[in-house]
């Protein structure tokens, strides 16, 4: 009976816990962040080829994508399997658009090697015509399937963004038109909700 009660209390107190309280060698209490655990969610960027999933170990996709440590975005300045890290990939094929070649950049954040956020970003110079956004997003829809959705396209054209919020994650599509002498920017991000 006592063992069952202790087990039940342990389960109830740990349910939904995101931080763990521990005591360090000086006797002070410290908080250790726990990595959220979710069922892996496939990222909608070249999903048939890359199979990147938030909630999954980044080293799985590292076999296909040569992730480079994004040192400037890493708070503790170390790559380690016990903390948060950031990685970048700029080896994607160039996108041919508007008489130019544009580079998609991929960026992930990890917590204990688990992908918690993914971003695909493209800096571009949109054409000066009424179909420029449609043409660019149609080109990107070869890699991001959801860009074939008319509601997303309409929202990007009118509001500059589209957001999908689920229980475990959030997806954001953003199209920022540059001001005079600035480039335009598209970003697709999917992140675990903490």
Q: Are strands 161-165 and 41-42 parallel, antiparallel or unpaired?
A: unpaired
Does the model's pTM come out above 0.75? yes
Q: In which band, very low, low, confident or very high, does the pLDDT at 192 lie, cut at 50, 70 and 90?
A: very high
Per the structure block, which two tokens stand in for 116?
């918690």
CB 95 within 8 A of CB 121: no
Q: What percent of the chain has pLDDT over 70?
A: 81
Q: In which band, very low, low, confident or very high, does the pLDDT at 62 lie, cut at 50, 70 and 90?
A: confident
Q: Which residues contact 43 (CB under 8 A, 6 or more apart)?
A: 50, 52, 53, 54, 118, 190
Nearest-angstrom CA–CA distance, 49 and 113: 21
- Mean pLDDT over residues 146-157, rounded? 97
């Amino acid at each position: 009976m006592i063992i069952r009660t202790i087990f039940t209390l342990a389960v109830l107190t740990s349910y939904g816990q995101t931080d763990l309280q521990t005591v360090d060698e000086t006797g002070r209490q410290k908080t250790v962040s726990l990595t959220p655990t979710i069922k892996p969610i496939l990222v909608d960027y070249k999903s048939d080829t890359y199979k990147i999933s938030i909630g999954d170990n980044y080293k799985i996709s590292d076999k296909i994508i040569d992730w480079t440590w994004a040192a400037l975005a890493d708070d503790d300045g170390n790559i380690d399997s016990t903390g948060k890290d950031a990685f970048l990939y700029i080896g994607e094929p160039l996108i041919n658009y508007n008489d130019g070649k544009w580079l998609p950049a991929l960026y992930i954040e990890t917590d204990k090697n688990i992908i918690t956020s993914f971003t695909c970003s493209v800096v571009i110079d949109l054409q000066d015509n009424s179909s420029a956004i449609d043409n660019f997003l149609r080109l990107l829809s070869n890699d991001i399937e959801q860009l074939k959705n008319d509601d997303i396209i309409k929202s990007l054209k009118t509001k500059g963004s589209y957001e999908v919020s689920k229980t475990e994650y959030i997806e954001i599509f953003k199209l920022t038109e540059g001001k005079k002498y600035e480039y335009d920017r598209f970003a697709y991000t999917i992140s675990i909700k903490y």
